[in-house]
Homo-oligomer: A and B are copies of this chain.
Amino acid sequence: MTTPEAREEAVLEAVNQRRKLVNEAIPEALPIQRPERLYEASRYLLDAGGKRLRPTVLLTTAEALADVEPLSTDYREFPTLDGRSNSPAADDGADQTPETIDAMAAAVSVEVIQSFTLIHDDIMDDDDLRRGVPAVHREYDLETAILAGDTLYSKAFEIMLETGTTSDRAVDALDVLATTCTKICEGQALDVDFEQREDVSPEEYLDMVEQKTAVLYAASACLPAILQGADQETIDALYGYGLDIGRAFQIHDDVLDLTVPSEELGKQRGSDLVEEKQTLITVHARDQGIELEDLVDTEDVERVTESEIDDAVAELERVGSIEYANDRARELVEQGKDRLEVLPDNEARELLCDIGDYLIERGY
């Protein structure tokens, strides 16, 4: 029996191995070309780092579906499910089905969408730092940052068109990509809307997180199934897995904002509380009679003290809000893992389970 530590280490190694491959693929998909400043700005955040969690989910799901050993198969020439007895495409015959697809193109496309949303989010929140470097609108300017995001947006669609799958499946994949982007925008708008409201319920909060964050995990998990030609039940189950672990990921992020020391977090611990940002934790706390604005008096992240944050976190612990958030995240991950039973029982499927666990156990 493997220990939790050994499993986390294995996940981190799996993520790192795929990250290296994704990092090689990004400049191929997005070379610096004329106008150079635009493409440099478009690449700036992508090149600054990132764990590539979504591409990792996508590539690992492709491996689980194809029932190949993790990292044994070139992602650029990745087997489809056609020709298998249980493949719905086997008796479709309307379209020439290719034997392989470029799963890496899909993985890069998803990461490019993620990067576009971060660039525009940083403008909207007027955040100065991201991944330890200045936000794109700080390093360049507002105009260039808006355009860099817009360029990544259409490039993601162009890249998704490069998988070499059938036209039918490409259309379905582009549909998922487009509706995912729309939902991300809707989720972001709901998040802004919630700032004005004091009656957001935990379920409303989770709905918002689903749209703002989880849909891109859901897309990452179901896209290989679409591109490789899986049946609808598998596609739906994988989409559900992504939604579940994506929501859990965001809840855990909100917990980390309160519990990880500022130096590890790369920003002030408890900044969400200072900025009175609603999270599942604060929404739960309000239901316990806690006033969000009373938790931290200081309204400036630069001036808040660690002891103020300590007191606020102690109060949130006392009313059970942090435990509540942890419990909800755990439930969602367990639900997501259950959905993976549609996949063949293999090492890659195990890894997808472990990725779910990692998302709510990671320390930063």
Contact = CB atoms under 8 A, between A and B. Distances in A.
A124 B95 contact: no
Contact of A35 (B149, B168, B189): B189
Main secondary structure of the interface of A (DSSP, over half): helix
A38 B186 contact: yes
What is the count of identical protomers in the complex? 2
A154 B182 contact: yes
A308 interface: no
Contact of A193 (B35, B167, B178, B192): B35
A153 B151 contact: no
Interface string A151-183: 101110110010000111011001101111110
A35 B155 CA distance: 27
Given A38-B185, A151-B186, A153-B153, A146 B166 contact: no
A53 interface: no
A144 B171 CA distance: 29
A38 B153 CA distance: 19
Interface in A58-113: 94-96
B189 A37 contact: yes
A96 B124 CA distance: 45
Contact of A96 (B94, B147, B153, B179): B94
A150 interface: yes
A142 interface: yes
A143 interface: yes
A337 interface: no
B157 A120 contact: no
A101 B193 CA distance: 38
Contact of A161 (B35, B174, B189): B174
Q: Which of A158, A177, A185 has the most CB of B within 10 A?
A: A185
A143 B125 CA distance: 8
A177 to B, nearest CB: 8
A188 interface: yes
Given A95-B167, A154-B182, 6 more contacts: A35-B189, A143-B192, A147-B192, A151-B185, A161-B171, A167-B167
Contact of A170 (B95, B153, B171, B179): B171
A189 B144 contact: yes
A117 to B, nearest CB: 8
Contacts of A170: 167, 171
A154 B167 contact: no
Contacts of A142: 123-124
A26 to B, nearest CB: 16
A12 interface: no
A29 interface: no
A154 B178 contact: yes
A180 B153 CA distance: 12
